[in-house]
Structure 1
Amino acid sequence: MELEVHINGVIEGLDAVTNESLLSLLRREGYSSVKRGCETGECGACTVLVDGIARPSCVMLASQVGGCTVSTVESLGSAEKLHPLQSAFVEVGATGCGFCTSGMLLSAFALLQNNPSPTEEDVRDALSGNLCRCNGYARPVQAVLRAAALLRGERVEPLAHPTVSVDEVSSVATEQVASGESGKHPILQTSAAASGSGGVTTKIPVISAQMLAPSTPVVPAPRTQLHVIGTATAAHHAVKAVTGKGTFAGDFEPRKMAYARVLTSPHAHAVISSIDVSQAKALPEVLAVLTYKDVPRTPYARIERTGETSLLDQYCLDYVVRYVGDRVAVVVAETAEVAEEALRLIKVEYDVQPAILDQRRAMEPGAVRVHAERESLGIVDAERNIATRVRTEIGDVEQGFASSDHVIETEYLVPAIQQAPIEKYTVTTYFDADDYLVVRTNSQIPNYLRRTLAQLTGLPMRRIRVEQPEIGGHLGLRQHIEGEDLCALLTLATRRPVRLEYTREDEFRSNHVHQQYILRMKTGVRRDGKILASQMVVFADTGAYGTHALTAQSHTVHALALYPCANMRFLAEVLYTNHAPASLSQTYELQHEFFALESHLDDVARQLEMDALALRRLNWLQAGARYPLPLAVGASRGMNTIIDSKGLSTCLQLVEEKIGWKTKRNQRKNDRYRRGVGIALGFYGEPGVLPGTSGASIKLNEEGSFELFAGRSENGSQLTTYLTQIAAEVLGVTTEDILLHAADTSSTPFENSANDVVSFYLNGSAVKKAAEQMLRQILSVAGRILNVLPESLKINHGIIKGAHGMQTTLEQVAQHSLYVENRQLMTTSFWKGQTFPMTFAAQGVEVEVDVETGGVRVLNVVTAIDAGNPINPMLSEAQIEGDVAQALGLSLSEEFFYNQDGVPLLKSWSDAHVFSATEMPELQTYLVESHEGSELFGSKAVAGLAFYGVAPALANAILNAADIRIRYLAFTPERILRAIHAYMSRKSA
């Protein structure tokens, strides 16, 4: 049918299929800013304005907008002239990964058109239909309120990040230690006037602090000597995000593209006894059908395990299916609809096998083997379904327990969850003009993917190029090989571009799931609270294949080390089950460990009738101490494992004060609504390992700008922005002078870490080293131009100055080098992983528990992170807020359920119960600035650390409020009520 539609002020005549969605029509017409997220109208990524009203275009028929005015984000403004709303999103760091930004902007614009003076509650309500998984909602709400004020013509104060000097904080801390006081820090009591109004729009200070314990840190350049580091520079991709120009994996469509769909197993464990694809192949427009009979049986690993023997237990297609959603066959056709129809014509007969759906039963005698095949390699004990195991022990643990006055044992369970980023999994493969196989994917392991595809396809690596566009909030879910192998094989078979894109149900059903952990804690203490022995036992469910649950337990860092003692033991069994393969978070996989540890510490304190924070201060890891468990997990004996961080004490002091620990901990309980507070600590880092390597290249362009080549694309972690700031600081220019090229294996250096924290140090250090080399070359050429020693020159804002007013510019240096000396200034560097600084955090939560319904309302979350000398305080704070938003959802409402046959029960966002803007509590975030850290100007990574403390702090706050201990996430009303009823039964007995 023909439609006449006003799109962004232009009348267009369009042809639409009868049942075509508005989303499909707009994307077909090139409006890629309208993102495809859910297809059910729940995530808001596809929001457009129809006659000024914000609507999800995925559930509107194109035929419904005939004669209407449709506006996409391009109608608001361009990069040259941003709308005040777009500018505000850029200025406050509200863009995150950028995938959901267009939809949020249009929802906010519709609000401001009808209500120019919205309250914070109005803004939250307007954004409630726009889900965000990486940046949370604090910054967008702040941006909308700021834009509203600007549009009303009001004066808006510049964004500020106040600091407190090291000497002031150190001096107050010294007085408190001498007097025995804690939690009273007048210097840190930022008033409402200083920190803004409450709620999610609070202006967040950077706190400069110093503990008393001695250390020997790498001393960064003083803040006064830094020009780019420490500034609230806009995110590298921010303007692209707010103008809809960001390009994600699904925004590229080569000519003559074919569409792939995967037939998945309906059974948790089965052997394919027969498979008939003849009818599917005979269907018109079907180009190819592949089963296990058509592909080589080559074992490979879905993930990269740096420095370890690989566990090879995955196959492109197999005659054994090991979870509901496992791959059975793949079809490629001219259209996605034909491919879907072809799947229904494939006839499969299964010999259904017993399934293991609880990791506690995986090791039982007589349990079915998940991997009984002979071809798989590297499995520790296939007979008992043990993929791998970790054992770390020092001292005599049993003797330590025997010598203790109290021994406390508890068990905790962290269930499976589906991280479900808003961007769906998408991969496109095609042959380019040079006959290279190009793989465009939102996977985060391009180099490992390239190497593995070479093994599976038989193509030499030099003929494979992996492009990694911007990633829509990966949340750790994109650190594995998913469907790239199938797509590549289909392109080889058809010589056509092929796209495989998951539906939202595919994401929940077939994609990797953050799997279940069972943890058992045992602690022996003296009467005074000193820990004499501690033990943590972890049973990790890696699912059907050895993935991230396997690698996570092998880190040098374990949460148990936060409270070192003479006798410590960490045990982990990583077990196969017939669940979907396990995924990972953005950072170290320690959420489950800290949930158990920090909940357990409050239980220990209760039994001792001791203040929980006093117990932590008595036992925690001290600055200057040696990390207690390195040798048992393979660290080099010659490596430095001294903990140099000094910010944990200040972090806890801040949270203790801001959450009102002393006044609210013992407050009187109301009959129905009972309030409580809880605190938890966390840390991560690499105290004694060599986790990987990375490289960087820089060249000086003719007009004085720089091109930077580094191996990481934007994914919401803001690493690309940090890299440009690092280069700009060293080279004495602004970030606008740095053009970043990232994540294309044909042009960017190698990187073998998908972990955002490790990548921060590896890529950042490589970029800094390359920039320092470039600086030396520039000053050398400038010295020859000015006829002075290079050491006497300094560069600032692109101007190179010497004594007596002599100067030259970067442009002159570049042109002199190119046209006089006949050489291009270029540098290349690599950085091998070294000891990375430990980053510490404290988090506090205040809750209100309704003891009649079991409902939990979070009133306030306070987070303080020892960030060293933060590269970009604004973006670090935004990242922390996003982590807290995710952690709240995972702790209170999100959970992945299976039925008794192993079939996933979650199919959409409505089942997942993700936190929205209206559900967010007040957030207070503090970056504690300490004078030690990495060689990256003293900065520390903060990505993902705020995940760790929210769940245990919530558990401890619920315990404080209602005298019930919940050891099973999530804290749903049903679980709270059951615990209350059990408590009342015990009390009345």
Structure 2
Amino acid sequence: MLYIKILRSPYAHALIEEIDTSEAERVPGVKLVLTYKNTPRNIHTTAGQGWPEPSPYDTFMFDYKVRFVGDKVAAVAAESEEIAQKALKLIKVRYRKLQAVLAAVDALKEDAPVIHEEPEIKGAYNPSKNLAAHIDVKIGDVQKGFEESDVVMERTYETQYVQQTPIEPHVAISYLDEYGRIVIRTSTQVPFHVRRIVAMMLGIPVSKVRVIKPRIGGGFGTKQEIVVEGICAFVTLKTGRPARLLYTREEEFVSSTTRHPMKITMKLGAKKDGALHAISMYVLSNTGAYGSHALTVASNAGSKSLPLYNRAPHVEFVADVVYTNLPVSGAFRGYGAPQAYAAVEQAIDEMSYEVGLSPVEFRKKNHIVTGETSPIFRALGEGREGVTQYIRSCALDELIEKGMKEIGWDAKFGKHIRNKSKVRGVGMAILMQGSSIPLIDMGAATLKLNEDGSFNLLYGGTDLGTGLDTISAQIVAETLGVKPEQVIVYASDTDLTPFDVGAYASSGTIISGGAVLNAALKIKEQILDVAREMLEELDAGSLVLEDGCVKSLATGRSVTLSEIAHHSLYVSNLHQIIASGSMVSPYSPPPFAAHFAEVEVDEDTGVVTPVKYVAALDCGTAINPILIKGQIMGAVAQGIGFALTEEFIFDDTGRVANAGFMNYKIPSVRDMPEIVPIIVETYEPAGVYGSKAVAEINMNGPLPTIANAIYDAVGIRIQKSPFTPEKVLKALRAKAGKVTK
């Protein structure tokens, strides 16, 4: 096996005027050195999304221009990592430094340097103005709506660069099979998208590439990116040798992907009675050096938040997504919604005080309910027009009531409970998300019956620690009357399993699971047909499939699944009982949540300590309550990090100064408050067995919930996250009229 190491750019923006790899190539054990000079110049996107990808094509395997500190310059494939690392140091590069854009607001200035001027670029909105994407959606007449409002309020909020930090960094192994095809084993959320994009990068047919996703150590969106696979596969293609490319933790921070930082301006108009009348939302999103997920994440910021407050007849959503010379932004759990709710739910809280209603009353008066819709659903999809949705299951009021009771809202809200320098407060937020991308996401599954009554399930869904393989086995077991352990699950192999878009958009259960259900329903009919022949039963309606047997309600006779399998394979009308099913949904039924937090603010130090966190969730039918509670708690933990501690710190050259766990603080178990997950079941007609999504929605809540609790405790609003002690102290001193530097 060859080991690959990447030479990274030390500059945020520069042209490579000369690159000399000759000395590196002479190092014993070095087999290949790659640069823009000897690799395919096939423009592509690294975003693992359905074809045609809505993200701009603005990336090459290697380019003669670098666009952020950490961008790819060259790669060495050698007999060991140590040899490869030694050779990297011998590559001589002469750069011509260019002026860099290190802030999103600077990218739109008239004299801003152009980051992408390559003639091959496709799909970017206006690269000459550093605009990767632009969105402009209007419902009603927003200006008129504000004029008609009794109370108008405008606020701006800003979220920061954060990284997904999966346990396992990006890693891939590639090799040639006995037919000369490239096989890639990779830590990915999107094996079928990897296959398509790697084939595009290398300029070879899709049929020459096989992608296998083994058990992996998490993803959270950053593995929805084709980051390491193309280079790894190209090394194998050129050398005939197996190859391995593993990112260091520093590379994972800087050179994979991050969450899009956003600056969001909310303008709300309301009537005297508290009814929202007009909403304007402007998003300035920083996609970094390349436009991965640029359009779709920004779209999601509006489409997943604005329909929650559907009573306002006048709504405007505008977004500019800009290129900068900073690390690449991409997919991250919540996919634009956490940034949006950071703004929306703080603005809603602030408006509740303006109109004289409690935060609870104001939300109850204005949130969407069962039977209603929002024009935003149709106007704003993920990068294209959406689909009209009507809410058919929503337990928001019950979620609010249960959350209030658990947190002790009535006894704590507005009470400013003090213990010396420490003051406690409570805050809340309500949330919605989606379950898949309607009429775009598709998954498929194949199921077959074995002689002993077990089943082989082959499906394209991607379990990255979410429990999707377990859920899929449960769906088969529930449908066919067997135990989950009788279902042998094999997933995510582009040669052997049917197509699936992959693990994103909270689509696992509704799309992958829906395909599994459809396959199981088809195979059930085949099983009953054979059983009817064996039992000499004319009335198919009298047969039931349960406990591993088909029973006749008319005669009481039964046959086991094992006997049915033997009959079909060896006795009569010989055939394999097997079926395939696909799933694409015209609906994206939203899960709903109500979050409540109690925090303690130390006025002497500025430290904010979450004391208790309550997350009440309506996810339809709870197929696996233990997995659901794990998903809730994991999302809340990530959200607390987003709210309080996590952020990239850049120096004035655009270099990330804290690319490691020593200086980038993710919460540990010691930092966690008491987390109380509450599941309120509804039945969603569009879901599998009445279920809705779980994985992303609870990431959206902690930042605004904690922000609102800080305000309840000490009366300060911090418009830019995270809420570090320094920012809290500065705001407290400003409130007290003290001068701060």
What is the TM-score when the length of structure 1 is the normalising length?
0.72
- In structure 1, give the amino acid aligned to 2:508: S
Query: Which residue does 1:80 correspond to in 2?
Result: none
2:332 paired with 1:577: no
Query: Which residue does 1:666 correspond to in 2?
Result: 414
Q: 1:327 aligns with which of 50, 66, 72?
A: 72
Alignment partner of 1:345: what SS? coil
Distance across 1 between alignment mates of 2:456 and 2:215 = 18
- In structure 2, give the amino acid aligned to 1:277: T
2:221 paired with 1:470: no
Change (3 A) 1:572 1:873: same
Q: Is the 8 A contact 1:263 1:327 kept in 2?
A: yes
Distance across 1 between alignment mates of 2:445 and 2:85 = 43
Shift of 1:459: 2.7
Shift of 1:753: 4.2
Distance across 2 between alignment mates of 1:605 and 1:428 = 54
2:288 paired with 1:288: no
2:347 paired with 1:600: yes
Q: Is the 8 A contact 1:394 1:566 kept in 2?
A: yes
Per-residue CA deviation, residues 279-333 of structure 1 (Å, 9 max, x unaligned), is 0000111000011000121110111443555521000000000011110001000
Distance across 1 between alignment mates of 2:713 and 2:661 = 31
2:713 paired with 1:713: no
Distance across 2 between alignment mates of 1:978 and 1:639 = 45
Q: Is the 8 A contact 1:311 1:546 kept in 2?
A: yes
Distance across 2 between alignment mates of 1:931 and 1:389 = 37
Distance across 1 between alignment mates of 2:321 and 2:31 = 41
Shift of 1:918: 1.5
Q: 2:681 aligns with which of 917, 929, 945?
A: 929
Distance across 1 between alignment mates of 2:502 and 2:191 = 10
Change (3 A) 1:971 1:868: same
Q: 1:559 aligns with which of 305, 313, 317?
A: 305
Query: Which residue does 1:653 correspond to in 2?
Result: 401
Alignment partner of 1:785: what SS? helix
Change (3 A) 1:360 1:987: closer
Shift of 1:849: 0.6
Query: Which residue does 1:951 correspond to in 2?
Result: 703
Change (3 A) 1:497 1:751: same
Distance across 1 between alignment mates of 2:682 and 2:374 = 19
Map 1:168-247; keep pairs closer than 5 Å.
none
Which consecutive residues of structure 2, in runs of 5 or more, have no partner in the other structure?
A: none
Query: Which residue does 1:299 correspond to in 2?
Result: 43
Map 1:23-34; keep pairs closer than 5 Å.
none
- In structure 1, give the amino acid aligned to 2:551: K
Query: Which residue does 1:749 correspond to in 2?
Result: 498
Per-residue CA deviation, residues 377-402 of structure 1 (Å, 9 max, x unaligned), is 11111121111111121111001111
Query: Which residue does 1:357 correspond to in 2?
Result: 102
Shift of 1:267: 0.6
Moved beyond 6 Å, runs of 4+: 635-638
Distance across 2 between alignment mates of 1:943 and 1:499 = 31
- In structure 1, give the amino acid aligned to 2:589: P
Would you say how many aligned residue pairs link Structure 1 and Structure 2? 732
Query: Which residue does 1:142 correspond to in 2?
Result: none
Distance across 2 between alignment mates of 1:897 and 1:712 = 36
Per-residue CA deviation, residues 235-286 of structure 1 (Å, 9 max, x unaligned), is xxxxxxxxxxxxxxxxxxxxxx110001010111100010000000001110
Distance across 2 between alignment mates of 1:475 and 1:979 = 33
Change (3 A) 1:874 1:585: same
Distance across 2 between alignment mates of 1:747 and 1:638 = 33
Shift of 1:631: 3.4
Q: Is the 8 A contact 2:149 2:277 kept in 1?
A: yes
2:517 paired with 1:768: yes
Shift of 1:732: 0.7
Change (3 A) 1:848 1:750: same
2:16 paired with 1:272: yes
Distance across 1 between alignment mates of 2:648 and 2:117 = 27
Change (3 A) 1:634 1:594: closer
Distance across 1 between alignment mates of 2:72 and 2:224 = 19
Query: Which residue does 1:819 correspond to in 2?
Result: 570
Q: 1:404 aligns with which of 107, 126, 149?
A: 149
Change (3 A) 1:308 1:744: closer
Shift of 1:562: 1.1
Aligned-residue RMSD, C-alpha: 1.8
Alignment partner of 2:620: what SS? coil
Distance across 2 between alignment mates of 1:816 and 1:687 = 40
Query: Which residue does 1:800 correspond to in 2?
Result: 550
Shift of 1:775: 0.4
Shift of 1:712: 2.2
Distance across 2 between alignment mates of 1:486 and 1:646 = 46
2:356 paired with 1:609: yes
Shift of 1:692: 1.6
- In structure 2, give the amino acid aligned to 1:473: G
Q: Is the 8 A contact 1:672 1:851 kept in 2?
A: yes
Distance across 1 between alignment mates of 2:387 and 2:182 = 42
Query: Which residue does 2:261 correspond to in 1?
Result: 516
Distance across 2 between alignment mates of 1:523 and 1:503 = 45
Per-residue CA deviation, residues 631-663 of structure 1 (Å, 9 max, x unaligned), is 323699996521112211111111111111111
Q: Is the 8 A contact 1:539 1:574 kept in 2?
A: yes
Change (3 A) 1:303 1:402: same
2:442 paired with 1:690: no
Q: 2:723 aligns with which of 964, 971, 988?
A: 971
Q: Is the 8 A contact 1:884 1:946 kept in 2?
A: yes
Distance across 2 between alignment mates of 1:358 and 1:871 = 45
2:465 paired with 1:703: no
Shift of 1:719: 1.3
Query: Which residue does 1:837 correspond to in 2?
Result: 589
Map 1:846-885; keep pairs closer than 5 Å.
846-885=598-637
Shift of 1:572: 0.9
Q: Is the 8 A contact 1:643 1:687 kept in 2?
A: no
2:333 paired with 1:586: yes
Distance across 1 between alignment mates of 2:358 and 2:185 = 54
- In structure 1, give the amino acid aligned to 2:676: Q
Map 1:897-936; keep pairs closer than 5 Å.
897-936=649-688
Distance across 2 between alignment mates of 1:445 and 1:797 = 35
Q: Is the 8 A contact 1:640 1:687 kept in 2?
A: no
Alignment partner of 1:554: what SS? helix
2:206 paired with 1:461: yes
Per-residue CA deviation, residues 490-546 of structure 1 (Å, 9 max, x unaligned), is 111111000001111221222212231100000011222111111110011111111
Query: Which residue does 1:781 correspond to in 2?
Result: 530
- In structure 1, give the amino acid aligned to 2:628: S
Change (3 A) 1:952 1:273: same
Distance across 2 between alignment mates of 1:956 and 1:422 = 31
Distance across 2 between alignment mates of 1:779 and 1:577 = 61
Distance across 1 between alignment mates of 2:590 and 2:398 = 15
- In structure 1, give the amino acid aligned to 2:527: I
Q: Is the 8 A contact 1:683 1:840 kept in 2?
A: yes
- In structure 1, give the amino acid aligned to 2:470: T
Distance across 1 between alignment mates of 2:166 and 2:688 = 30
2:426 paired with 1:677: yes
Q: Is the 8 A contact 2:437 2:507 kept in 1?
A: no
Change (3 A) 1:391 1:744: same
Distance across 2 between alignment mates of 1:445 and 1:639 = 24
2:392 paired with 1:644: yes
Distance across 2 between alignment mates of 1:375 and 1:768 = 43
Q: Is the 8 A contact 2:304 2:432 kept in 1?
A: no
Between 304-313 and 723-732, report the one with greater CA deviation: 304-313
Query: Which residue does 2:476 correspond to in 1?
Result: 727
Query: Which residue does 1:120 correspond to in 2?
Result: none
Which consecutive residues of structure 1, in runs of 5 or more, have no partner in the other structure?
A: 1-256
Q: Is the 8 A contact 2:260 2:336 kept in 1?
A: no
